[in-house]
């Protein structure tokens, strides 16, 4: 990662988390930062997604999302954000697994890997409602920060 503004922002967040964890304990620091995410994460994360109206304009929003996701591995790698692989790409579901993530890597290097948990939590705040409005079910069973072997992002066509 060479984006100094991003790195500075992440290091400030990690320093804040580390201070909270030292004063309140790790579990309380995670809870505080999740509460912060409740109030602040929706808008920035939605800005990182395609516009919901643009996906809804397609006859098949899942097919449009699949096309969008198809570009993700190369873009994420080029940006230095994640190592991800598409593990399913079919007409009724698409799944990609994140096998490495810069947010967790930075948190580990700073000695506070738990600081990544609120970031993962923000996905679960935004994705269910965003995709449900498009007839797509979002599901994730684990995260790297939570100890899983990958972050498994699954998007399935909702059945009537």
Share of the chain above pLDDT 70, in %: 99
User: pLDDT tier at 7 (50, 70, 90 boundaries)?
Assistant: confident
What's residue 134's pLDDT? 96
Lowest mean pLDDT among 28-32, 56-60, 75-79: 75-79
Looking at the DSSP bridge assignments, the partners of residue 139 are: 154
Q: In the prediction, which pLDDT does 48 show?
A: 86
Helices (H), 25-116: 26-40, 42-48, 52-56, 61-70, 72-79, 102-109
Contact call for residues 103 and 10 (beta carbons, < 8 A): yes
pLDDT at 81: 87
Question: So what's the pLDDT on residue 130?
Answer: 96
In the predicted structure, residue 1 carries a pLDDT above the cut 70 = no
* Domain count within the chain: 1
Radius of gyration of the chain (CA): 16
H or E segment at 88?
strand 82-89
Please choose, from the candidates 65, 73, 60, the residue with its C-alpha nearest in 3D space to the C-alpha of residue 49: 65
CATH number at residue 75: 3.30.1380
Angstrom distance (rounded) from CA 33 to CA 35? 5
Three-class DSSP category at 153:
strand
Domain of 126 in residue numbering reads as 4-157
Least confident of 74-83, 107-116, 120-129, 135-144: 74-83
């Amino acid at each position: 990662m060479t984006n100094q503004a991003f790195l500075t922002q992440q290091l400030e967040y990690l320093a804040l988390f580390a201070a909270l964890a030292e004063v309140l304990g790790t579990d309380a620091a995670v809870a505080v930062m999740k509460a912060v995410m409740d109030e602040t994460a929706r808008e920035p994360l939605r800005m990182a997604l395609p516009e919901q109206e643009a996906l809804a304009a397609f006859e098949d929003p899942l097919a449009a999302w699949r096309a969008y996701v198809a570009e993700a591995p190369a873009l994420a790698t080029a940006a230095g954000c994640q190592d991800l692989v598409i593990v399913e790409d079919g007409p009724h579901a698409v799944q990609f697994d994140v096998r490495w993530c810069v947010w967790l890597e930075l948190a580990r290097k700073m000695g506070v890997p738990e600081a990544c948990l609120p970031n993962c939590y923000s996905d679960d705040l935004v994705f269910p409602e965003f995709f449900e409005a498009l007839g797509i079910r979002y599901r994730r069973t684990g995260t790297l920060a939570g100890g899983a072997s990958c972050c498994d992002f699954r998007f399935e066509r909702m059945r009537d």
